[in-house]
Amino acid sequence: MSPFDRDAADELLQPEMMGSEAEIAFEGALRPKSLAEFVGQQRVRGQLQLLLDAATIQNRTPDHILLAGPPGLGKTTLAMIVAHESGRPLRLSSGPAIQHAGDLAAVLSSLVPGEVLFVDEIHRMARSAEELLYLAMEDFRIDIMVGKGAGATSIPLDLAPFTLVGATTRSGLLPNPLRDRFGFTAHLEFYDPAELVHVLRRAAVMLELQIEESALIEIAGRSRGTPRIANRLLRRVRDYALVHGGAATREVVRNALELYDVDELGLDRLDRAVMNILLTRFAGGPVGLNTLAVSVGEESETIESVVEPFLVRIGLIVRTPRGRMATRAGWEHFGLSAPDETASRPAKSARGPASQPLFGDEL
């Protein structure tokens, strides 16, 4: 390649590289650096601030912290804030990456004094690693087995004091001995629309996006109470306004989110597919989980962990001993009429006589 061709190629690549760097910089800047900048979770912020201030006054490492809550509420961001406000280095890892006790021993033995170890999805850590973590969290020590059989010996290894910050979306899967060793457990709650508007306003400034207040309110109402979803929708609105050459008005937000299959309640394509199958094919239920998943063409785990929690939370479906059932709000949102009064009262139909057909043989 001649120097001219090389220079031309560099000019072609430069805008793309600059765009990628800008997106990476935006992602980093989007995360608040302190508890004062963190929006929402007021009670958790106050509890964490007290814990960190007390550790600073006593000149010790903060207690181990467990952050529990649905995805996208800021668990990773809070772990970074704990390290930043403590003035400590941060080590990032995840439960699925620690599948053997040796993996965890290698990480723990390399920690420097006071370091913050963040383990995302800690409930997915291997059981052998969890058992090794018990002693490490309590006494800052691990026992390493050397050799096999009758000649095996246990060598104790002292660890530098550290703070473990574990994040989990399913705290019920954590064994009790591990959960009890955390000095503080924070339960993160979904955000209300006013808090999401604050999050979106801050993100819009960083994106250099001129957007109306009513448009921010519209996005917040479709964000499922989750800042991560709100920021993602804002970026799609930014793209739509950029391509169509207009301001980010409320009408632009509605057009953009309609293009991406996000309705007024925040339901996406899969949510509506599940509801349509439940309402039209199974007359509102009750219907078993596996039957519902097969009808939609998705795995039952996807329906149970991704779709169902939000539909239950906003009151469109309920879980009963006989299966999933649509509520009256579910019928009304899709502009349909419930076939009879029992469709809106699942508790009685679940315990009373079998007045409705049961679709599926499992919950």
Cα diameter, the chain: 84
Residue with tokens 């006013």: 194
**Is residue 138 within 8 Å of residue 178, measured between CB atoms?**
no
What is the C-alpha to C-alpha distance for residues 94 and 123, in angstroms, rounded to an integer?
Answer: 10
Q: What Rg value do the Cα atoms of the chain yield, rounded?
A: 25
What is the C-alpha to C-alpha distance for residues 253 and 238, in angstroms, rounded to an integer?
Answer: 9
Q: Which residues neighbour 248 within 8 Å (Cβ) at sequence distance 6 or greater?
A: 204, 209, 210, 211, 212, 215, 237, 238, 241
218: its two tokens = 């519209």
Q: Which residues carry out catalysis?
A: 75-76, 120, 169, 228
What is the C-alpha to C-alpha distance for residues 219 and 162, in angstroms, rounded to an integer?
Answer: 40
What is the C-alpha to C-alpha distance for residues 121 and 115, in angstroms, rounded to an integer?
Answer: 19
Verify cis geometry, omega within 30 degrees of 0, for the bond prior to 286: yes
Q: What share of the chain is helix, strand, coil (3-state, %, to 5)?
A: 55, 15, 35
DSSP-derived letter for residue 185 is E
